[in-house]
Amino acid sequence: MTASRRDDLHPDVEMMLAALEAGFPDVTEFSAPELRDIITSRRAPLAHEPDMRIARDVTIEGEGGDLALRIFVPHNVDESQLGDAPALLPVIVFAHGGGFVFCDLDSHDEFCRSMAECVAAIVVAVDYRLAPEHRSPDAMRDVYSALRWAAGNIEDYGGDRSRIALAGDSAGGNLAAATALYARDHGGPSIAAQILLYPVIDDDFETESYRLYGVGYYNSTKAMRWYWEQYAPGGSQDPYVIPMRATSLAGLPPALVATAELDPPCSAGEEYARRLAAAGVPVRAHRFDGLFHGFLTFPSLSLTPPARERLWAMMRDALAPSAPADPASH
């Protein structure tokens, strides 16, 4: 199925979307293992850039067994001061996107390194269990295990356990939001911020952004339906699976919600930001106009570096010591 795109897009966005539409596999035509193999085979070798003071894979005990994490400590930390309170950096527990089905620590390695360097934070990336082999809420429980591990161990890496944020892009944004809800309801570790990047926050396919951008903008309605069916077949009323189902959002950590205009889940992400603000949660909401789902992980796109700079600045504000509450903004 094809659809004409808007004629006012930046030429580089138009070229990137055309390439993605032509080259990205139709996820509905493959099994999950086949899809992962296809996507991994097209991935460029890891460049290990930008360089980190520490980039270390560790294994912790998760609810489903061994859980792999990758810890990124930027050069902003003086190694001789690790563990010394004045040098402690904020911490970001990060869940990657990939429709709950694919991607891993390597797929988001460059993004996590850049985030660590530019936000001046320690990033703990989580290799959570993937669907459909592991249905909801297994992935969320893995992110929660990583959060608990960070709260108990991150000072060994120079991290400030009083400034731990949850973050994620796409499906990872769902997992960050759901983990924040779970931690609130189960007496979990304190969370300084939830950073939701074009989050897949709901399974409502009838929103305005689905209507406008569900075909022809890389992330399609057809694909989104398939992703949800892998993770939560038949739907769910569980807020730890679909955060929009939460009866109350009161008492959640301050939120940074970044959406992409040309993205089917955009409307739901913006509605979640409004609901958070209405519940008294400090929210900063920002829509990247003229950009599409996943753009932050395409550094070769000319519009991505300046968008990242905007995002990094907002993240630094969200993680600053005693950061003042931002009013809801759009």
User: Catalytic amino acids?
Assistant: 170
DSSP secondary structure letter of residue 167? E
8 Å CB contact between 270 and 264: no
- Please, which residues have CB within 8 angstroms of residue 48's CB and are 6 or more apart in sequence? 55, 109, 113
- Alpha-helical (H) ranges within the chain are 11-23, 32-41, 109-119, 138-153, 171-185, 208-213, 221-231, 266-278, 304-319
Q: How far apart are CA 196 and CA 223, in angstroms?
A: 20
DSSP3 helix / strand / coil % (the chain, rounded to 5): 40, 20, 45
Which residue in the block uniquely carries the two structure tokens 């040098």?
A: 87
CA 177 from centre of chain: 9
- The two beta strands, 122-126 and 65-73, are antiparallel
Tokens of 140: 């969320």
Q: How far apart are CA 300 and CA 293, in angstroms?
A: 15
Amino acid at 124: V
| Cβ-defined contacts of 271-276 (< 8 Å, 24+) | 271/202, 271/207, 271/244, 272/177, 272/196, 272/199, 272/201, 272/202, 272/243, 272/244, 273/328, 273/330, 274/328, 275/244, 275/249, 276/249, 276/252, 276/328
Closest CA to 270 of 281, 259, 279: 259
